[in-house]
Amino acid sequence: MLPTPKKFTLVAGSAEGRSRLTAFDKALLAAGIGNLNLLKVSSVLPAGAQYVEELDIPPASLTPTAYGYITSDVPGELISAAIGVGMSDGTFGIIMEFSGKCSAKEAEETIRKMVEEAFEVRDMPLTGVKVKAVEHRVREIGCAFAGAALWY
């Protein structure tokens, strides 16, 4: 069994590539987590996890991460990804991810609403929200990525 993460950060990045996969890889690099092995997790932030601006994680580490991304090969298309974390005093938090064909501002607004709804359905008080979003205007093949990386 893996230990429960004690820290988290929010990252976002976008990039162009010669393929969808290399665009995704470059977006991860732009977000600062391109040299990690991401373990995709669902949307629960461990109780007591502390937000930090940057995590110091050794390359190739298995890193629990909730994320959303979008790739496109439509020149001129605007794509965005956003990550949001809602916190509640003394208990766990909720992570929501979003990607779509919209601006970063629209993605951010969508994430905030998703976080609020997640707390409403759990009947939990929402005491704080952190959001990070990125947008990308596609030139040839682009990717927008946003994630919440968790660490120990």
Catalytic residues, by residue number, are 37, 42-43, 97
Cα–Cα dist 28/15, whole Å: 9
Instruction: Judge contact between 43 and 95, C-beta under 8 A.
Output: yes
Joined together, the tokens standing for residue 99 give 């990607």
Cα–Cα dist 112/131, whole Å: 8
Ramachandran bin of 139, using left for φ above 0, alpha for ψ from -120 to 50, beta for the remaining angles: alpha
Instruction: Judge contact between 17 and 143, C-beta under 8 A.
Output: yes
Contacts (Cβ under 8 Å, ≥6 apart) of 120: none
